[in-house]
Structure 1
Amino acid sequence: MRNTFKILVLTVLLSNLSLAQNNKEIALQKGNEAIKLMDNGKIEESIMLLEESQKLDPENFNYPYEIAYANYLKKDYKKAIEIAEKLQNYKEVSVQLYSLWGNSYDNLNNPKKAIEIYDSGIKKFPNKGLLYLEKGVVYELEKEYNKAIASYQKGISVDPKYPSNYYRIANLYLNSDDKVPGLIYGEIFLNLERTTDRSREMSKNLFDAYKNSIVFENREMKELNLCKQMSMTPTDKNLPLCLMFGKWFIYGLLHSKAEEFNLDTLSKVRQGFLKSYFEKDNKDYPNILFDYQDLMSKNNIFDAYNHYLFQMGAEDEFSSWFQKNETEYNKFVEWYTKNENSININERNFFHFIN
């Protein structure tokens, strides 16, 4: 009789386990279908399926999170916040929850509360760049640009391979009178995020920044306007970054004997800049981007890299160059697309601009 009881209990346990497994599998199927519906703009239908998934697998964080996200997509930010508040103590809570939660407050014109939520998330995820990005965007919208820059820089310092902080800070500087940090942040961004709409936009932004900063008159270089006005004292040992950059950029311009600005000119000037920088200033101004450029120069692909990098600012010029240099370009692509040749940026060598 006792053995019969044990068998009965075991049978019930196995039956319950099988039912739980089946419920989770069904929930997953419904959840996947819900995501497809959401991607196709069928938000309400998606929410219905996700709610069914949540009932079948109530401990799973993903289903209520996706419901919150669906409400965010349909601009029901209050509902998204209501759901997000209940999810913060889930074991599987993600950094994306705090992004969604804070963004919902920001969209309800409550930037102070949004920042508070991002900061709560940063305490849980201190090494993720996303929430520093979100804080920076809020500060930008509030026109608190110094705070935005500080947030993006902090995001870069803790998560130096996360591209979006570079993208935002680069555009801030490129739209200022102090373009050099924007040129550096923007180029690093392009080496972290390739072949996206944002990278194509940044390619053009960088080319235009160089083009608009160099003034030619009567086929001679007259001005270079990359730096804001700044002062120095006799005790300053090093030039500010912008002046160091401008010094060797002008040298590169003069050495190239350029008579006008174009894609070929820019590449030649950057080659001259790089040579002078490593001869004179790399120890006093270490820079991971210039190290990466030097690596390409040593592999004889820096000219092709320059044409690739800025092609969206001069598409016809790039096409003409490519027709004449296809072999060189293919050599660059073969090298550049190998994982081991990616820019080796980390928490010890990331670029940090100090005003």
Structure 2
Amino acid sequence: MRILLPLMVIICFSVSAANAQTTDKEKALAKKNEAIELMDDGKLAESITLLEEARKLDPAEPEIVYEMALARYQQKNFDEAMKLLKDLVKRKQASGRVYAMMGNALDEMGKPEKAIDTYDEGIKKFPEEGNLYLERGVMELRRNDHNAALGFFEKGIQAAPMYPSNYYRAAKIFLDSDQEVWGMIYGEIFMNIERGSKRTEEISKLLYYTYKGEIKFESDTSASVSFAKQNNTILLDANQRKKAQASSLANALAEQLMASMGNSFANGAYEMTLVKSIIGEKMINLASLNRIRTKFLDIYTKERRDTSYPVVLFDFQRSVKEAGYLEAYNYWILGQGDEKVFGEWRSEHEQQWDSFMKWFKENRIKVTEANAFVRAQIILQDVVKKAAK
């Protein structure tokens, strides 16, 4: 017994110590979660107090230190935030988010070049962190170098294809350029990834007004589409009978397709398919855009799916159509451009809308590194195809 008793005491002490350690971690986690809620409510001082208590209970947990740095950052106490973040780097507990906040803090401290160096270092260490590409691109926007900014946003799309903000930034740049085609696709992918936000509403309006501004019906016999540098205008002979107009239009389309300059996807696969899709329309509104987008998907699927460029957005649209919800989806995508008409449509199609929303919540677009839509890759494919010919 004199041998067993000390052993039992040791075992009991070890179990007790382990239980105490587990309890401390659980208490630290609870305090951290409560602190985050306080931070979200703007109660930064109270949040920091709780985080300090949590850190005493679990000093090795990097998330607690990160949240402390975030609270200090929000207080604009950038020096203290940097101390905490540097401590994580020193302890090799840094993540991509740590480098992003460090860069932001340095920028706020009036050290933009050091901020850029920090983002670059973060990208090297965490090449799949979409936020780092975003921040790096924003720095280029501040230099008014939109091409360099796009380079980072599009690298971010490739590296982190389900991170929405790089799509958002790229879409806004392109929708304010003479290459709207890329913004139309990036913007709609963004809306599918980040649903229900103010930014989603903003992009919905931009997509609608871009359609409205770049598709023009100049007369009963003339319409133009301009989503890339080349403006595709179709002229019909006013003296021809309506039945003959379709043939004339097809010939005109073929000639323009052969003459397309620049990227084949922008001027050919996308824009010329869109030109075919507006045949029969006289104006641009939500109802006509629903018809145009439906025709576009059908034509693109039939004529180009196997021979042109895979587009994850169009693949997703096909799944929406197969489920029977393409009309509701089209109204959702563009509805913020004409809220009154959108609201009226929803009221008249309440059952259809509710059914679509239920399906939509359960079926999200899935963008991976393998199927991500990135402009640079599309252009590279185009160059390779032309070189092969």
Q: TM-score, normalised by structure 1?
A: 0.87
Q: Work out the CA distance in 1 between the residues paired with 2:225 and 2:261.
A: 24
Preserved contact between residue 154 and residue 166 of structure 2 (Cα < 8 Å): yes
Give the match for residue 352 of structure 1.
374
Give the match for residue 267 of structure 1.
290
Is the counterpart of residue 324 in structure 1 residue 348 in structure 2? Answer: yes
In structure 2, the CA distance between the partners of 1:316 and 1:152, relative to structure 1 (3 Å rule), is: same
**Mapping for residues 1-355 of structure 1, pairs under 5 Å:** 3=4, 5-10=6-11, 12-90=13-91, 92-217=93-218, 222-229=223-230, 240-244=264-268, 245-253=270-278, 255=279, 257-282=280-305, 283-339=307-363, 342-354=364-376
Q: Gapped runs of 5+ residues in structure 1?
A: none
Shift of 1:92: 4.9
Shift of 1:170: 0.8
Preserved contact between residue 221 and residue 259 of structure 1 (Cα < 8 Å): no
Instruction: Give per-residue Cα distances to partners, 1:314-355, cap 9 Å, x unaligned.
Output: 11111222333334434433433323xx32322222111136
In structure 2, the CA distance between the partners of 1:9 and 1:116, relative to structure 1 (3 Å rule), is: same
Instruction: Give per-residue Cα distances to partners, 1:131-189, cap 9 Å, x unaligned.
Output: 21221222222222122111111111122122221111111111111100000011111
Instruction: Give per-residue Cα distances to partners, 1:258-291, cap 9 Å, x unaligned.
Output: 2221111111112222222223223223222122
**What is the identity, as a one-letter code, of the residue corresponding to 1:349?**
N
In structure 2, the CA distance between the partners of 1:327 and 1:38, relative to structure 1 (3 Å rule), is: closer
- SS of the residue 1:24 aligns to: helix
In structure 2, the CA distance between the partners of 1:332 and 1:2, relative to structure 1 (3 Å rule), is: closer
Preserved contact between residue 214 and residue 221 of structure 1 (Cα < 8 Å): no
Preserved contact between residue 171 and residue 187 of structure 2 (Cα < 8 Å): yes
- SS of the residue 2:375 aligns to: coil
- SS of the residue 1:292 aligns to: helix
Q: Work out the CA distance in 1 between the residues paired with 2:366 and 2:15.
A: 51
Same amino acid, percent of matched pairs: 36
In structure 2, the CA distance between the partners of 1:344 and 1:16, relative to structure 1 (3 Å rule), is: closer
Q: Work out the CA distance in 2 between the residues paired with 1:252 and 1:235.
A: 19
Preserved contact between residue 105 and residue 111 of structure 1 (Cα < 8 Å): yes
Q: Work out the CA distance in 1 between the residues paired with 2:310 and 2:144.
A: 32
Q: Work out the CA distance in 1 between the residues paired with 2:205 and 2:108.
A: 30
Q: TM-score, normalised by structure 2?
A: 0.80
Preserved contact between residue 260 and residue 267 of structure 2 (Cα < 8 Å): no
- SS of the residue 1:88 aligns to: helix
**What is the identity, as a one-letter code, of the residue corresponding to 1:186?**
G
Instruction: Give per-residue Cα distances to partners, 1:177-224, cap 9 Å, x unaligned.
Output: 110000001111112221122212111111111112223445775433
Q: Work out the CA distance in 1 between the residues paired with 2:327 and 2:156.
A: 31
In structure 2, the CA distance between the partners of 1:218 and 1:99, relative to structure 1 (3 Å rule), is: same
Preserved contact between residue 290 and residue 327 of structure 2 (Cα < 8 Å): yes
- CA-atom RMSD, angstroms? 2.8
**What is the identity, as a one-letter code, of the residue corresponding to 1:345?**
V
Shift of 1:63: 1.9
- SS of the residue 1:93 aligns to: coil
Shift of 1:87: 0.6
- Number of residue pairs aligned between Structure 1 and Structure 2: 349
Shift of 1:112: 2.3
- SS of the residue 2:276 aligns to: helix
Shift of 1:91: 5.8
In structure 2, the CA distance between the partners of 1:53 and 1:326, relative to structure 1 (3 Å rule), is: closer
In structure 2, the CA distance between the partners of 1:280 and 1:88, relative to structure 1 (3 Å rule), is: same
